[in-house]
Amino acid sequence: MIEKVLIANRGEIALRVMKTCKALGIKTVAVYSDEDTNSLHVKTADESYYIGEAAPAKSYLNQEKILDVMLSSGSDAVHPGYGFLSENDDFARLCEKNKINFIGPSADSMNLCGDKMRCKAAMLKAEVPTVPGSPGIVENADEAEKIANDIGYPVLLKSVYGGGGRGIRLVTNDKELQEGFATVTSESIAAVGKSAIIVEKFLEKTRHIEYQMCRDKHGNTVHLFERECSIQRRNQKLIEQTPSPVVDEAKREEIGALVVKAAQAVDYTNLGTAEFLRADSGEFYFIEINARLQVEHPISEMVSGSCSICYNSFWTKCKM
């Protein structure tokens, strides 16, 4: 039984986790930087600890410092929230090594989900449909050009290490592909110091549908219905809605079963999100797993019957 949770984050998500912990009788520990000395999450927690300067690299991303606070405060679990260390498998492994419960997927599962090609291979093995494209990382622009001609333009060049709309280029012919390959490679190296490119068929008139999923350490798996986030700018979500207007009950059940398969395929635990593209023809294609709680999770709470802010039925009592 968890007795004390350190929240390795700040702001809205830290407060949501704290309020849920309080409802469950679990003590909470906040961490804060120079920037957040007077923040509400610092005042709300049962205990608060200073971890460094305002720059995240010297505070919220400082794994050793956060580990020191976990150990000195007697915390037996850590919730990473979203952002910062939430998808850092090294941090999850550090927690596992020190017998601290990382509230999220295991380090191995997180590492697998973060490797888009290994994750895609796991989905194909589990018979979860994926977007047509390269079977693995393409070594150079000429190889990418051959694949693009095989599957047909337009295609997307995507960095395996991309995210948040970065490291993606839409190309419609060989000339654009040659130029785009160099650009995506440069962006990836500038962002993370390395590059690995894949090619995927660009599906026109698609909708972006994602399912929140939950799986415990005994293998019990459920999905918490879909969210639609098709309204985007520069590949970043602007509006989330649920239920999706293009998903009927039969399709919801069909794709929900694929989500359960996806979670099992990567041995996922805790909450996460499986993301799909819905083609204009109605077909769904898996694109990735976000191995963390997402910013948009509250709308899933709303439709699944409870709200972590007040722990009451959303439809009857929540005053959020």
Compute CA distances 204 → 45, 62, 156, whole Å.
Answer: 47, 42, 11
User: Is the link from the previous residue into 132 a cis peptide, with omega within 30 of 0?
Assistant: no
**Catalytic residue of the set 207, 215, 278, 292:** 292
Phi, psi of 206 (to 5 degrees): -95, 165
Phi, psi of 20 (to 5 degrees): -65, -45
| Residue 306 exposure: Cα atoms within 13 Å on the Cβ side | 8
User: 136: part of which helix (H) or strand (E)?
Assistant: none
Residue by residue, DSSP assigns 33-81 as: EGGGTT-HHHHHSSEEEEEE-SSGGGTTT-HHHHHHHHHHHT-SEEE--
* Active-site residue flag, 16: no
Other CB atoms closer than 10 Å to residue 174's CB: what's the count?
16
| Residues marked as catalytic | 292
